[in-house]
Amino acid sequence: MTTTPPEARAQIVSMVRDFVRREVEPVAAEHDRDDTVPHDLIDRMKELGLFGITVPEEYGGMGLDYTTFATIFEELSKGFMTLSGAIGTHHILTYVLSHYGTKEQKEKFLPDLASGRKRGGLALTEPSGGTDMANLQTTATKDGEEYSINGSKMFITNGRYGDMFCLLARTDPDMKPKHKGLSCFVVEKGGDGFTVGRDLDKLGYRGLDTCELNFDNFAVPQENLIGLEEGAGFGMVMSGLETGRINVAARAVGVAQAAFDAAIKYSQQRETFGKPIADHQAIQLKLADMATKIQAARLLVYDAATKKDTGQRVDLESGMAKLFASEVCLEVAMESMRVHGGYGYIKESPVERYYRDAPLMIIGEGTNEVMRLVIAKQLLRLPEYQL
């Protein structure tokens, strides 16, 4: 069980909040408009230790709990949700290594990842399908002391500027059920057969490299097989995705809170019929619903994070948090735009960006349709009244 003392958490959150206010907010609109990667801000995040939030201290990380982890993602996303993406799937790689890697693998990879000297990512989704991971097509064929990787991965965050990736590939094409034939590798850039494809032009989530990765007989040493265990990759990635869903849900809460803050501020400044629109009951009803739903989403996020800190399986709780928080985020972004009227629809308003960013959380780390199936599956396994 990992618990960060409240005083330490408050200090860290205050540090991140100050960073967002002073350095991120003034340039967020520019990076979003131009779709430019904010390398200077990412370097500052390295200095602040944000690439090693949950990495054990013995490997150079901060060793923080998932409640603090979620709070950091929420604060970053209030300023520029894209920025949280630079450390999102990076932390799935560090999670998988921390929990399933051998001692040698942890010592080799984690210090560089925790410091940000190396950026990580997750090579999971494929062009032929994202949700049906058990049927992924990328293969890893044993060839002496190496594995030969063949296939393509799609929608890979940190794809161009990342240095290593947690890659799920098929090592046994004949294994039944199919997910037991999947293994997890650390693949490092460099060498023949590993190419970064096109950059993807996205609706929102701009200012972050999202690319295709292509593998053509790319050689990976056998010591990069995580845990040195074939056939265990599916479970490793599924466990890592629990943390991914917590961070996506926390991002959704952050964006929703930013949209709400903009709405309540504007409603107190904008006047119609001789008084601020905040005095109109129609606007008050919107503000009340927005605030209530954001707080409900936040509580779901921190419930999942708290249970993760105790070492419990949280696919149910993280799925609920991700589902509800992301839907609330899109709803609040739209309601904030309605409060702003025409001013919320123009590019100079951050509300327009919040509305474009919100769908990412509905799709990312498993679509919400899949989340509903995950939730239902776990509910049907529970004894009565166990929630």
Q: Dump the DSSP string for 246-268.
A: HHHHHHHHHHHHHHHHHHHHHHH
pLDDT band at 133, cuts 50/70/90?
confident
Average pLDDT in the 50-56 region? 97
3-state helix, strand, coil in the chain (%, to 5): 60, 15, 25
At 387 the pLDDT is 63
**pLDDT for the residue numbered 376:** 95
Interval 206-247: pLDDT, tens: 999 999 999 999 999 999 999 999 999 999 999 999 999 999
Phi, psi of 93 (to 5 degrees): -60, -45
Identify whether the C-beta of residue 149 lies closer than 8 Å to the C-beta of residue 185: yes
Average pLDDT over the chain reads 95
Residue 385: predicted pLDDT: 52
Residue-level pLDDT at 382: 83
Say whether 171 sits in a helix, a strand or coil. coil
pLDDT higher than 60, residue 100: yes
Could you say which of 74, 230, 242, 365 is catalytic?
365
pLDDT at residue 363 above 90?
Answer: yes
User: Does 130 have pLDDT greater than 90?
Assistant: no
Provide the pLDDT confidence category of residue 288 given band limits of 50, 70 and 90.
Answer: very high
Mean pLDDT of 38-49: 98
Contact 221/272 with Cβ under 8 angstroms?
Answer: no
Query: What's the pLDDT at 129?
Result: 73
Contacts of 285 (CB under 8 A, 6+ apart): none
User: Would strands 210-221 and 146-157 be described as parallel, antiparallel, or unpaired?
Assistant: antiparallel
Residues 6+ apart with CB under 8 A from 386: none
CATH number listed for the domain at residues 240-381: 1.20.140.10
Segments making up each domain of the chain, as ranges:
6-115, 120-234, 240-381
Share of the chain above pLDDT 70, in %: 98
Least confident among 132-136, 169-173, 193-197: 132-136
pLDDT score at 386 = 66
Instruction: Name beta bridge partners: 279.
Output: none
Q: d(Cα 136, Cα 184) in Å, to the nearest integer?
A: 13
Q: How confident is the model at residue 253 (pLDDT cuts 50, 70, 90)?
A: very high
Instruction: Please name the residue ranges forming H helices in 311-367.
Output: 315-340, 350-363
Amino acid identity, position 259: A
| Model pLDDT, residue 147 | 98
User: What is the pLDDT averaged over residues 126-136?
Assistant: 80
Higher pLDDT, 130 or 71: 71
Q: How far apart are CA 133 and CA 39, in angstroms?
A: 32
How sure is the predictor about 384, in pLDDT bands with cuts at 50, 70 and 90?
low
Tell me, yes or no, if 58 is annotated catalytic. Answer: no
> Is domain 6-115 in CATH 1.10.540.10, yes or no?
yes
Percent of the chain predicted with pLDDT > 90:
93
pLDDT in tens, 78-93: 999 999 999 999 999 9
Q: How much is the pLDDT for 316?
A: 96
pTM, rounded to two decimals: 0.96
CATH number of 120-234: 2.40.110.10
165-182 pLDDT, tens digit each: 999 999 999 999 999 999
